[in-house]
Amino acid sequence: MIGETLGSYRIERRLGEGGMGTVYLAHHQVIGRRAAVKVLRAEHSARGDMTQRFFNEARAAAAIDHGGIVDVYDVGTTADGRAYLVMELLEGESLAARMSRLGALPGDDAVRIARQIAGALAAAHDRGIVHRDLKPDNVFLVPDPETTSGERVKLLDFGIAKLHGDLAADAPITRTGAIFGTPVYMAPEQCRGAEAVDHRADLYALGCILYHMVCGRPPFRGAGLGDLLSQHMHTPPTPPRALAPAISEGLEAIILCLLAKDPAHRFGAARAVINALDGGSVTSATGAHGGAAA
Active site residue 108: no
Q: Note the pTM of the prediction, 2 decimals.
A: 0.86
Structure confidence at residue 159 (pLDDT): 59
Rounded-to-integer distance, Cα 129 and Cα 46, Å = 26
Which CB contacts under 8 angstroms, 24+ apart, belong to 107-112?
107/214, 107/244, 107/246, 107/247, 107/248, 107/251, 109/149, 109/213, 110/210, 110/213, 110/214, 111/251, 111/277, 112/149
One-letter amino acid for residue 201 of the chain: A
Q: What is the pLDDT of residue 212?
A: 98
pLDDT of residue 194: 64
- Smallest CA-to-CA distance from 275 within 262, 263, 289, 261 is with 289
- Given this model, what pLDDT does residue 16 score? 87
- Residue ranges in the chain modelled with pLDDT below 50: 163-179, 288-294
| Separation between Cα atoms, residue 245 and residue 284, nearest integer Å | 22
Active-site residue, selected from the candidate residues 74, 108, 133, 157: 133
What's the pLDDT score for residue 266? 96
Q: What's the DSSP call for residue 2?
A: T
Rounded to 5°, the CA angle 45-205-255 comes to 170
| Backbone angles phi and psi of 22, in degrees to 5 | -110, 140
Do 40 and 103 form a contact (C-beta atoms < 8 A)? no
pLDDT of 281 reads 86
The phi, psi pair for 104, rounded to 5°, reads: -60, 140
Structure confidence at residue 173 (pLDDT): 42
Residue type, 231: Q
The overall average pLDDT reported for the chain is 86
Backbone angles phi and psi of 129, in degrees to 5 = -110, 125
Q: Does domain 5-88 have CATH number 3.30.200.20?
A: yes
Residue 108 burial (CB count, 10 A): 11
What whole-number distance in Å separates Cα of residue 266 and Cα of residue 260?
A: 6
Task: Note the pLDDT tens digit of each residue in 132-149.
Answer: 889 999 999 999 988 888
Q: Which residues pair with 74 in a beta bridge?
A: 86
The domain ranges of the chain are 5-88, 93-284
Cα 268 to Cα 104: distance, rounded to the nearest angstrom:
27
**Beta-carbon-side half-sphere exposure of residue 237 (alpha carbons within 13 Å):** 31
- The CATH number of 93-284, from 1.10.510.10, 3.40.50.720, 3.40.50.1580, 1.10.599.10, is 1.10.510.10
pLDDT recorded at residue 223: 84
Q: Which residues of 252-263 are buried (b: 16+ CB within 10 A; e: fewer)?
A: bbbbbbbbbbeb
* DSSP state, residue 162: B
